[in-house]
Amino acid sequence: MRCQGADVQSAGRLKQRAIEALQPRPGTQYVTWDSEIKGFGVRVSPAGTKSFIVKYRLPTGRVRWATIDRVGVVTLDQARQRARQLLGVVSAGDDPLRRKDVARGAPTLAAVADRFLEEHVKARRKPATVRLYRLAIDSHIRPLLGALAIADVSRADVVRLHHRLRATPVLANRVLAVLSKLLSWAGDQGYRPASSNPCRGVEKYKEESRRRYLSPSELKRLGAALRIAERYDSIPPSAITVIRLLLLTGARVGEILSLRWSDVDLTGGALRLPDSKSGRKTVLLPEPAVEMLHAWPRFAGSPFVFPGEGHGNRKGRHRVSLADPWAWVRRRARLADVRLHDLRHAYASVAVSNGQTLPVIGALLGHTQAATTQRYAHLMDDPLRVASDATAATISAAISRRSR
């Protein structure tokens, strides 16, 4: 804390004899600064207690005073070395007093994050969004920044977290957005100065638009890999069924993994999803998908079509990951760069090839905005080009024949 009412004087480079000669002043404390290390000095209390101190300013503008130790408990050289260490921490963008703040009971980011999720996110966001916020906080924000006092989270902390996730730019930017929401809410609630959000101005990583489509031969290899997996129990049956449903419906991965039996209308041939990314949504089930779900067993005590099976998929909940099974399928099908989400793009591309219009494809995928479906417009050139090439080839053959 700042030395309230402290008188300040300069003494050049601090020396032991000069420190010993410092005398108390009735009713006030004062600081004698060292000219060699900026912010390093000796504080003298009205009672005559002398302490080595360091004064520094945080990127937020907050000024802090750190007490190194009493004069005599540590030597001047030791105090000078410690001052350099503390100021080095400050130069790196950190606050050396944060651990003491936490020890004194200052609210940590982890504690405020729990309140943020309970009082703000759960009350205002859909369950699927709550899960995404919790995943970002629990998997990335809490492990790195959770122990810090919420008031002292700095721009350097934010940049450090963002930089750590640089290999996955989209994830890095989404985590940054969640952290920004959390810190803005913390400011509104009085946990830190209002309008002090250190996420503001942090440059987001460029997100490359990446859409991978499957060619007919790649779809055949994928089908063959699934049949082999089924024949030899190479991956769990639930994973095989989920992948096939993704291919047959164009649904999102999370929509199928979290599917409840109460959402399944086998008579009407549809999934009635109450909480998809785009709100309430109906996903049509083609006959092969209906047959698959008719044959799929129901698991006692679970409302989910695909309950968790352990190994990262918590029992009593739905399956949350296909990472390992999909890695096996990709290797077997020689589709190293294909993500599960690309199966949705594959569905759209096949629909285009079969002559479906963009509005129809948008309805099948559950798009609420036409611009979202527009990304598939260029695919409509493919069947046209095939027709164009075939027509041109016939004409070219006719006009290039030599007359006999």
Which tokens is 256 given?
A: 């199928």
Give the angle subtended at the CA of 375 by the CAs of 374 and 381, to the nearest 5°: 90
Helix (H, G, I), strand (E, B) or coil at 269: coil
Side-chain-facing half-sphere of 183: CA atoms under 13 Å: 27
Stated length of the chain: 404
pLDDT of residue 345: 84
Nearest-angstrom CA–CA distance, 279 and 165: 29
CATH superfamily of 7-96: Integrase, DNA-binding domain (3.30.160.390)
How do beta strands 63-70 and 50-57 pair?
Answer: antiparallel
pLDDT of residue 385: 56
Which tokens is 363 given?
A: 């309805």
Nearest-angstrom CA–CA distance, 282 and 377: 23
pLDDT of residue 10: 59
Nearest-angstrom CA–CA distance, 320 and 309: 9
* CATH code of domain 109-188: 1.10.150
pLDDT of residue 261: 96
Nearest-angstrom CA–CA distance, 92 and 314: 40
Residues in the chain, pLDDT under 70: 1-11, 60, 99-104, 209-210, 275-279, 310-316, 352, 355, 357-404
Q: Classify residue 194 by its DSSP letter.
A: T
Nearest-angstrom CA–CA distance, 267 and 110: 47
Contacts of 184 (CB under 8 A, 6+ apart): 197
Helix %, strand %, coil % for the chain, to 5?
50, 15, 35
Residues linked to residue 8 through DSSP beta bridges, in sequence order: 31
Write the CA distances from 242 to 51, 83, 142, 256, integer angstroms: 67, 59, 31, 7
Structural domain spans, the chain: 7-96, 109-188, 216-345
pLDDT of residue 224: 95
Top-level class of domain 216-345:
mainly alpha
Helix (H, G, I), strand (E, B) or coil at 52: strand
Contact 322, 241 (CB under 8 A): no
pLDDT of residue 403: 46
> Is the pTM value of this prediction over 0.85?
no
pLDDT tens readout for residues 98-119: 766 655 677 899 999 999 999 9
pLDDT of residue 388: 52
Write the CA distances from 62 to 56, 92, 158, integer angstroms: 9, 16, 17
pLDDT of residue 380: 46
Helix (H, G, I), strand (E, B) or coil at 70: strand
Q: Classify residue 311 by its DSSP letter.
A: T
pLDDT of residue 62: 77
Identify the CA nearest to 376 among candidates 170, 208, 213, 248.
213
Nearest-angstrom CA–CA distance, 253 and 318: 12
